[in-house]
Amino acid sequence: MDLLRSLPLGLYLEQPVTWLHHLDSRVKLIWLTSFLIAPVLANPLWRLAIVALLILLTLSASIPLRVWRQQMGWLLMLSIFALIVAMFAPDGLNAHHQPRLPEPEFSAASFSSYQYVLFKLDQGPFRLMITRRSLDLALRISTLIFTLIYSSNLYLLTTAPEEITAGLESWMRPLRRLNVPVTEIILTLTLSLRFIPLVLEEVQNLARSVRTRAINWKKLGLRNSLQVWLTVAERLLENLLLRSEQIAKAMTVRGFTSPNQHRVQWHLLQLHWGDWLALVGLLMFWGVRLVWGGLQAN
């Protein structure tokens, strides 16, 4: 199994290049922040609309089905599982209230359509009940799980690591007035993102080396098996430290002294017409959110 190509999340899609790839990383970062903030204090219909919008963006970008199924299949199952569990869970309202008589000007027929208990099954040991509160809570939990994870994954799927760091540096630039080492932070983040594939490669090579030796784990026992894995972990740490030393020497040979004196421009940020359209769509998104997406007063 190739760990570099079978990650469930966070894998950058190099081919095919979609219209989401062409958007500026700063614009996509604003959209990602909006997707993370918009569900707060929002009604269930708005949360479902965000889920539908994310799926629509995926389909419009023509992201291959194999990528979507591989990375998001388990997330859909997790969201559906959370929906079912929360929907049939007790809603916490166990107090019994005495209903008040309606006012004379209101007829009893106007109150007959309201039902707090939407579904109830009470046959023998099976006691299931769905109320309005439990259904609302189930929709909130399931849509929140899907939105938070999938929006972040879609951003990582269509944005290269260099673009991510360049966009973050652009937005963090005003912090330099507060003596925040923005360049050093972005350089550390860039090296960390570049170092992740090296870690996966070392883990993959060591796993293959152990598998090719056809070790009989049953005969080794628990103690000897732990010793083998401790040796593998020690070897992994040595290889990672060796890779880190090689990267440090490569930067030193190239005359890298400090980020401010020897800067490497990974990606040139420039807004195009598609980015401006995305910003206009963002304004419409928040306009709809403020008008129809908020919680209704009881």
pTM, entire model: 0.73
Pure H helices in the chain:
19-22, 25-37, 44-60, 65-88, 132-157, 161-172, 182-212, 217-253, 273-292
Question: Which of the given ranges, 199-208, 210-219, 261-270, has the highest pLDDT on average?
Answer: 199-208
Residue 63: pLDDT over 60 = yes
Q: What is the pLDDT of residue 1?
A: 47
Tens digit of each residue's pLDDT (9 = 90 or more) over 147-160? 998 898 888 888 88
End-to-end CA distance of the chain: 54
For residue 110, count other CB atoms closer than 10 A to its CB: 9
Mean pLDDT of 265-269: 65
Q: What is the pLDDT of residue 297?
A: 45
Choice between 257 and 78, residue whose per-residue pLDDT is larger: 78
Q: Are 199 and 212 in contact (CB under 8 A)?
A: no
Weakest-pLDDT range from 4-18, 129-143, 147-161, 244-258: 4-18
Cα–Cα dist 247/235, whole Å: 19
Weakest-pLDDT range from 57-66, 130-139, 256-265, 273-282: 256-265
Choice between 220 and 50, residue whose per-residue pLDDT is larger: 50
Q: Mean of the per-residue pLDDT values for the chain?
A: 78
Residue 110: pLDDT over 80 = no
Tens digit of each residue's pLDDT (9 = 90 or more) over 70-82? 667 778 888 888 8
Q: What is the pLDDT of residue 6?
A: 54
Weakest-pLDDT range from 94-108, 140-154, 243-257: 94-108
Q: What is the pLDDT of residue 298?
A: 43
Residue among 33, 31, 13, 36 nearest 274 (CA)? 31
- By residue count, the chain amounts to 298
Question: Which of the given ranges, 17-26, 60-69, 97-106, 267-276, has the highest pLDDT on average?
Answer: 17-26
